[in-house]
Amino acid sequence: MKRQVDDKTILDKFAERFCGIIEKYAKYMVCSGFVAIAHGRTRGTEDIDMIIERISKENFFKLHKDLIKNGFICMQSDSPKDIYDDYLKSGESIRYVEENEGLFPPEMEVHFAKDILDDEQLKERIKLPLTGLNIYFSPVEWNIAFKEELLKTEKDMEDAKHLRIIYSSEIDEDKINSIKDRIKKMRLKR
Amino acid sequence: MRNKTHNEQIERWAKYVKDNPSRWKEKLKPFLDSQIIISRRFYSKLAETEKGRKKISLLRNTKILISS
């Protein structure tokens, strides 16, 4: 597949630059809407969702410092201690933007892996050549399962449909159903 | 609930992407980039006034001060 560097969108370049820094400190994966968009889904977004492994405070401080050095800024706070203690550790997401863009979109929404489902996706994370991007994504089956079983908005169902068509000959339907069962047990139980 | 033709458009475009892996991006790039460009242009305009900057902070749920 031939694709020129110039074909890369603002979102693509932002994602690759951000992921290149994160990869030095933590295992990450990009999931949800951007997976579909990177596969050609025609819809907008102003943020990209990223899950990273739970890392120590010390390691996060290094990661945050590197992001700042490279022109990113966290929208929640300038204090890495506050970001870690008040947000990441308590399961809240944080958002980084590029400072030279006036703090405007796109944003990278980052949160820690919160359970075994996130941990497994991180273990199975994958680069998807069809996107032409040098970043890790959560596997397609996981994305479809989450969108169809948990998220379920019109936008998410359309994202899932798009991915199903793109990967129609590769998708493991048994795996999707098995993930859906686990989502029901772990995320939907009350 | 979106209509039938919308669903058909999703299928039609997804099939185009699948069948044209080296061509879809050049067609989609202006559309995707324009949304970010329009959003940035709007926020820049809004950030020209103090009231606008406060609105941005509310809209974007940020504790960081937006500069003009």
Amino acid A44: pLDDT: 86
Mutate to test the interface with A, among B23, B25, B57 (most CBs of A within 10 A): B25
| Binding-face residues of A in 30-59 toward B, CB within 8 A | 37, 39-42, 44, 46
Which tens digit of pLDDT belongs to each residue from A47-70?
999 999 999 999 999 999 999 999
Contacts of A130 in chain B (CB under 8 A): 21
Residues B38-63 have pLDDT tens digits of 888 888 888 899 988 888 888 777 76
Q: In what order do the strands lie in the sheet with A28-31?
A: A72-74, A94-98, A107-112, A47-52, A28-31, A136-137, A126-127
C-alpha pair distances (Å), B5 with each of A48, B2, B9, B12, B31: 28, 8, 6, 10, 20
Predicted local distance difference test score (pLDDT) of residue A103: 77
Q: Do B11 and A166 touch (CB under 8 A)?
A: no
Q: What is the pLDDT of residues A28-51, one digit of tens each?
A: 999 999 999 999 998 988 899 999
Residues of chain A with pLDDT under 50: none
Locate A175 and state its tokens. Answer: 């795996």
* A138 within 8 A of A35, measured Cβ to Cβ: yes
| Mean pLDDT, residues B2-25 | 89
H or E element that contains A96: strand A94-98
Chain A residue whose CA is closest to B65: A75
Note the helical H segments in B20-64. Answer: 24-46, 50-60
Is the sign of the CA dihedral A147, A153, A159, A165 positive or negative? positive
pLDDT of residue A160: 97
Where does the pLDDT of residue B13 fall: very low under 50, low under 70, confident under 90, or very high at 90 and above?
A: very high
In this predicted complex, what is the ipTM? Answer: 0.80
The predicted pLDDT at position A117 comes to 97
Residues of A in contact with B1 (CB under 8 A): 154
